[in-house]
Amino acid sequence: MRFLMLLAFFIFGIYAVNAQEVRGQVLDSGNKQPIPYASVLFGENRGVVTNEEGVFSFTAENPPSSLKISSMGYETVELKPEEIINGTVYLKPASIELREVYLSNKNLSPKEIIAKVKEEIDNNYDLDLSKKRVFYRESNTSYVKKFDLEVDKSTIEGIDQNLMDQISQKIPKVSDSYKEVLADLYGNYDSQKLEIIKAANLYDPQSTRSLEELTDQLEMHFKQSLKEKSYLKIRSGIIGVKVDSKELQEGLAESSAEKKEKTPAEKEEEHAKDQENLQKRTTKKINSLLGSMFWKEDITFNLFEKSNKYNFSLDGYAWLDNSTVYVLSFEPKRGADYKGKIYVNTLDYGVHRLEFSNVKPLKKFKLFGISTADDVHRGKMIFVKDVNNKYTLNYLEQERGESFGLDRPLTIIEKNKHVKGRRKQNELDLDLRLNMSQVEKVQLVVYENQPLDNAAFQAMTASGNFQYETFRVYNPNFWQGNNIMEPNAAIKKFTSLQPDEPEEGAQK
């Protein structure tokens, strides 16, 4: 069934599937390439953005009479939903004609333009309280580039190089998971409250199942070999700890107990706890996202706060929604960390779009065979003008990533003074070599934006009661009837199922 659905998707394109749902893909009319993050407006202060593949979809109570589709450097298109041909909308690159009088009156240097942007923040942006319908997506991907366990010595039966090789081979090289949340966001860029409407968790328990079987085997060997009243000395280089047999056995017993089937009451309790944790985590994440807007002080991406540390250049002009914008590039000097582009309106100096990425690790550490680096920090901010001619947030994206390396020896020695003979009973010497990285990408799409007074904001309290399901395979039906950012190909292909397992969505 899933194969047939995907096949139909590619044959017929992305098209309206019922009277109230509108789907489409936005392409460049010249090279036919997708246009990501294009704005699709279908009502007053209501709209969506295309995903990385140029795809959009939305559901409206009443089908809109027209759509307004725009993207930086393209002519804006207005059309009726039924005018979308074969599920595709083409945008033409816009040609910029600058009059001589325009050039003479607006001949500002890049630094002067940046100064104007900072001066006009309060005038340009809607900083008041509002109620926003938002969709939040969090993607986590881990990459294991190296995981080697080399046995130098082992006197524990069954724990040998063969077992370590099996463990190394079973480590998932790539594993990913996704969280998606539809919610109402109350507040402004300084303070927010979140009322979650619906949420989904897409994860892969299979990614570690075979590894867990091998670690169970490892635990079994330890249990069988460990004598009563023994203790373990665990040392890695100059760092060491001591663990007695009782502590170890209790730890292994707890690990086994966690794998037992939970009762319905325990599952319900766990589900409620998961909801609570998701509410807290998502609120904190969105708070962090909105707290890192480019005009804020003391943020990691400090381009506007410390603009003297960057070189700016005017690359030219672009066209966006009947407005001409400056296209500015920036790169670091004096030890700054980022490069990117800013698109600034030539009339009011509002930032329509900002993209940045780090050019070097933000932090790094290396000592005694352990290394870490915060080596990924990328972001994107897109704003659109509302009916009051104020810039409001349309799309926000941020990626953070870190790398971890380990190259150290590990020695585990079992000692027991209550057994006749030598105090040393068993010994395991290993060399550990690990190199891995993890990237977290968060995306926030704003669909609707309504004014909110302070009394309503103060009175708002999150109920914490919402639909929350966990899936092991992408479920296209879960979000049906809701406005979300279209999933990309990676999410649609996501599955943790083995060939002989049934396809199902599991509610936690």
Edge-to-edge strands, sheet with 21-28: 55-59, 21-28, 88-91
Q: Position of tokens 């100059």?
A: 238
Look at the block and give the residue holding tokens 């707290």.
291
Check residue 262 and give its pLDDT. Answer: 76
In this prediction, residue 460 carries a pLDDT of 92
pLDDT along the chain (508 residues), means of 10: 31 37 85 88 80 82 80 85 82 66 64 93 93 93 88 86 84 86 94 94 69 69 74 70 62 56 82 90 93 91 90 90 88 91 93 94 87 94 89 93 89 78 79 91 91 93 89 85 80 58 42
The predicted pLDDT at position 502 comes to: 39
pLDDT of residue 286: 94
Model pLDDT, residue 59: 76
How much is the pLDDT for 123?
Answer: 94
3-state DSSP helix/strand/coil % of the chain, to nearest 5: 25, 45, 35
pLDDT the model gives residue 318: 87
Q: What is the pLDDT of residue 10?
A: 33
- Give Cα 278 to chain centroid, integer Å: 14
Place of tokens 């590990």: 410
The amino acid occupying position 143 is Y
CA-only gyration radius of the chain, Å: 28
Q: What is the pLDDT of residue 326?
A: 92
Distance (Å, whole) CA 197 – CA 310 = 42
